[in-house]
Amino acid sequence: MSRDRTPRILMTADAVGGVWQYALDLSAGLCRKGAQVVLAVLGPDPSPAQKSAAEAAGVDLIATGLPLDWIAQDAAEVEAAGRAVAELAGRTGADIVHLNNPALAASADFAAPIVSICHSCVATWWRSVRGGALPEEFVWRTELVRRGYAASALLLAPTKAFALATQETYGLSGPPRVVRNGRRPAQVEGSPTADPFVFTAGRLWDEGKNFSVLDRAAARLSIPVIAAGALEGPNGARVEASHARVLGSVTDDEVARHLGLQPIFASAALYEPFGLAVLEAAQAGCALVLSDIPTFRELWGEAAEFVPPDDPEAFAKVVEELAGDEERRRRMGEAAKARSRAYSVDAMCAGVMTAYGDLLSTGIARIRVEDAAA
């Protein structure tokens, strides 16, 4: 870092999906480097296991009870939450505000520079999943994100593909800076199962995850498809499962236990700015069968099989071939594991710390909403 001490960081997160894993891994890594991190959680409170993980990582966890931007009822809720987070940043003496929810910066006056992370947003989601004009309920959400980006001193994105999609969607003068996500490999002993199966994990209810394609593919397969994740989301979205066996919401340890058996990991996602579940599967040495979308191509290259995301027959065909070829599954798993080493927590933390240092070296003291919007 360019200052005499590492910074004090206020970071926002939620306890619902992949942002929690990103925020916890990053916060723990930053703490190991000497930074002080306050993790402000919006939306549902963290579970006891999540709270224990944060405590073990040395992270100061605050459950704010504030509404999440993507399930808030109107713009006023998000703007009020942003002002509350800005006040919290002031009270904690933050040198940098790290927003995993950029919309919080739309109408708040933060006393420290903002680093906003472009994890996902409804505008890029709609463009990938549905297409056409945004529905009215997404218009105000998109405008809040646009204003939040404008109020930020620095934008980061986890892949080049998503950085370019963000730039195009929001008319930015340049793409966000790319710092790829990382994940700490699970410490679980395991060996390939004698009976292959397909595994997937994530927010199954999210239409962008396209779980219904894997469910339809399951009807064509001679091996089981097991899915970890909820079928209903906090925003009321729901998906049905007719052929796959759904475990529901499970712990990270339970996911790791399944991945330790080295199943065939599949994702039919239409929209995935990065994909931590895929990374976890690769770290475990699973063969990857992924939808052919730009982010997956960028991240996994020759280390995965790619299938059109809307084609359950193609997924079933590739999976069935892999199920009958143990040696090919082993080679693919080794290739995925080797590729996954580039996406470590240490590499992610180094990239974020470099971004922080570059930001602080400019001498920016504060970013005012009225200045950013001018």
Q: How far apart are CA 355 and CA 358, in angstroms?
A: 5
pLDDT of residue 85: 98
Give the DSSP letter of residue 291.
Answer: E
351 phi, psi to nearest 5 deg? -65, -40
pLDDT of residue 307: 98
| C-alpha radius of gyration, the chain, whole number | 20
Flag whether pLDDT at 104 surpasses 70: yes
Q: What angle do CA 296, 318, 293 make, to 5 degrees?
A: 20
What residues contact 164, with CB distance under 8 A and at least 6 apart?
175
Residue 275: which of 159, 116, 121, 102 has the closest Cα?
159
CATH of domain 8-182+344-372: 3.40.50.2000
Flag whether pLDDT at 371 surpasses 60: no
Contact 27, 96 (CB under 8 A): no
Q: At which residue do the structure tokens 């400019």 appear?
A: 362
User: Over pLDDT 90: what percentage of the chain?
Assistant: 83
Q: Report pLDDT digits (tens) over 2-41.
A: 445 678 999 999 997 779 989 999 999 999 988 999 999 9
Average pLDDT, integer, range 281-293: 97
pLDDT of residue 241: 97
Domains 8-182+344-372 and 198-340 share a fold: yes
Average pLDDT, integer, range 204-209: 96
Flag whether pLDDT at 110 surpasses 70: yes
Q: Report pLDDT digits (tens) over 61-97.
A: 999 999 988 889 999 999 999 999 999 999 999 999 9
**What are the residue ranges spanned by the domains of the chain?**
8-182+344-372, 198-340
**CATH fold for domain 198-340:** Rossmann fold (3.40.50)
What residues contact 52, with CB distance under 8 A and at least 6 apart?
none
Q: How far apart are CA 334 and CA 350, in angstroms?
A: 26
Contact 102, 116 (CB under 8 A): yes
Report the chain's mean pLDDT, rounded to a whole number.
92
> Which token pair is 219?
């009807």
Residue 213: which of 225, 197, 229, 196 has the closest Cα?
225
